Each structure stands twice: as C-alpha cells, then as structure tokens.
C-alpha cells in the first residue's frame, strides 16, 4: 500500500495532502507494509514513488465550491472517470495524469487508486492550514489509519 499526499506545504491549504501524510507517519506503525510519501505538486511523478504496490491512495486539496473542509471520497473508477477540469497550459489534471500513467507505465496499469480530497479555504503563500481544513486533515488521517488497522 502506498499513500501519497499531493500539494505544497508553503501554499496554505494546498499543503493538506502533506499534512495528512505527516499525521499518518505518526499514526501508522512501521511494520504495516504501508508507505506514506509526500507527492508534491506533480502527479506525473507518481511512478518514481511507486514500488510495485497494488493500491495507491491519494490525498489532495480540492476545489469544487463545497464548504471548506468538506471531504470528497472517490473510488478508482470515479477518480479515473473524472472529467478534465483543469484545462491548463502547463500541467495535466490528476485524473488525466493517472490515465496517462496507466497508458505509459504498463507495470502500473493494474494499480487501483482511492482518493480523498479536502475542500480548500485559501490557497496562498504561507505555511499552515485554515481551521476547517486542518480539522478535515485530522479526520482523513484517522479514517485512513482505521482502514489500515
């Protein structure tokens, strides 16, 4: 099992993926057979973090218009079927990155993903999470740890 927290801890609530990984590193015993890694801001670097795990769980900041701190949970099919919502001149969205990885890294084609997204309040330079996002990060970390217990 590989757990990856995406985002930048120097950009406010964008650091929520890192915050969850940080908490998981404290919650999860070493012998669990689970690795929790910081994924930073490029999902296409996932293959560099992957060591043959069958499942990869991803945690990222989300922007959907819901209340800050809202937790979105997507299973494998829902995540990969998510439409390309970032028509972006410089980088691909998470779903599109995962679809490209499945095509380009044949060993990863059978990887099953699960996604936790936490609705952000403010993405701006600075360290630390806003209160609702910090609370959601605690909740998601506990939820993941419980699932793995």
Q: Tell me the C-alpha distance between 60 and 47, whole Å.
A: 17
Q: Cβ 39 to another protein, closest distance in Å?
A: 8
DSSP state of 108: G
DSSP structural state of residue 30: G
Min. distance of Cβ 103 from another protein in angstroms?
5
Is residue 39 within 8 Å of residue 5, measured between CB atoms?
Answer: yes
**Closer to another protein at the Cβ: 8 or 32?**
8
Strands 35-40 and 2-6: parallel
Return the number of other C-beta atoms located less than 10 Å from residue 27's C-beta. Answer: 16
109 touches another protein by CB under 8 A: no
Q: Show the binding pattern over residues 24-63: x = contacts another protein (CB under 8 A), - = does not.
A: ---------------xxxxxxx-xx-----------xxxx
Count of other CB atoms within 10 angstroms of residue 47: 12
The correct pick among 91, 128, 131, 147 for binding another protein (CB under 8 A) is 91
Q: Which residues bind another protein (CB under 8 A)?
A: 6-8, 10-11, 14, 17, 39-45, 47-48, 60-64, 72, 82, 84-96, 99-101, 103-106, 115, 117, 120, 123-126
């Amino acid at each position: 099992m590989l757990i990856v927290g995406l985002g930048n801890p120097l950009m406010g609530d964008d650091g929520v993926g890192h915050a969850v990984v940080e908490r998981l590193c404290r919650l999860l015993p070493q012998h669990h057979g689970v690795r929790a890694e910081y994924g930073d801001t490029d999902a296409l670097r996932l293959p560099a973090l992957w060591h043959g795990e069958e499942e990869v769980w991803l945690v990222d900041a989300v922007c959907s218009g819901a209340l800050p701190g809202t937790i979105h949970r997507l299973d494998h099919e829902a995540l990969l079927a998510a439409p390309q919502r970032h028509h972006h001149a410089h980088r691909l969205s998470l779903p599109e990155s995962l679809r490209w990885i499945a095509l380009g890294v044949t060993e990863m084609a059978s990887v099953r993903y699960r996604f936790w997204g936490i609705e952000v309040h403010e993405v701006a330079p600075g360290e630390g999470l806003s209160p609702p996002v910090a609370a959601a990060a605690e909740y998601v970390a506990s939820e993941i740890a419980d699932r793995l217990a």
